[in-house]
Homo-oligomer: A and B are copies of this chain.
Amino acid sequence: MDQPHDLKMLLEQVAGGKLAPDDALRRLQTPAEDDLGFARVDLARQKRCRVPEVIYCPGKTVPQIVAVMRALHAARQPVLGTRATPEQYQAVQRDLPDAVYHEAARAITLPLPAPVELTGQVAVVCAGTSDIPVAEEAALTSEWLGARTDRMYDVGVAGLHRLVNRLDQLRRARVVVVVAGMEGALPSVVAGLLEAPVIAVPTSIGYGASLQGVAALLAMLNSCVPGITVVNIDNGFGAGVAAAAINRLK
């Protein structure tokens, strides 16, 4: 899995007697993971992908959440738990008193190992108030990964002036996350006005033929404005990761 350059150096060290074959073998095989029994925390992910492992809280017990958070924290990696209920947070906080709950985003974080200066500019736009939890998850994730992030909520296409009045603000973003449920038209309208990359997040808001967000998802995939990319329904976290990765480019 390693790069030829690293491999070559290692082989030269073996050839030069500076590294025993067994040690080289171990390094070639070293699992970059922390085996907690019920989970193998991928500690190499941050180095490999710039995104540490993240804890998806639904269905996990509090001890499991705490154990993974501790393993990541011990490795001096940023810690984020998504879709956490207030009850989960309260229980987690007993073991990890520094844990912070972000209610609108339904997320738990631990203080970063070192202060990080936010850079660049990400905008997170959403269509209606019901879409805010997903938008907040995107915005929090984006900030947690180091991006300066601007929120613009409740600017749906039913009243276009709300959007048009914020065009200037919108045009300052390097990348824009657009969150919408129901007919999912907002990303098309936004992307038709900007040159920045647009990431569309369908939400499950709607009823009947919204099919729990499938209508919005299909609309976004079929946008008449080219260049929009899409993440899974309600996946604010994924959009935040993508936005931060794009925002990081220099």
Contacts and interface: CB of A to CB of B under 8 A. Distances in A.
Which of A14, A25, A196, A224 has its CB near the most chain B CB atoms (within 10 A)? Answer: A224
Given A38-B129, A128-B224, A162-B40, A231 B232 contact: no
Interface stretch (A41-49, A70-78, A92-100, A107-115): A41-49
Interface in A164-210: 164-165, 167-168, 171, 174-175, 182-185, 188-189, 191-197, 199, 202, 204, 206-210
A218 B215 contact: yes
Nearest to A42: B159
A202 to B, nearest CB: 8
A186 to B, nearest CB: 8
A54 interface: yes
Interface string A21-33: 1101100110111
A105 interface: no
A69 interface: no
Given A40-B154, A188-B183, A189-B185, A167 B49 contact: no
Nearest to A68: B129
Given A21-B15, A209-B218, A224 B157 contact: yes
Contacts of A194: 48-49
Nearest to A195: B50
The listed residue with most B CB atoms (<10 A of its CB), out of A159, A160, A168, A196, is A159
Nearest to A133: B59
A214 B219 contact: no
Interface in A128-146: 128-130, 132
Contacts of A12: 21
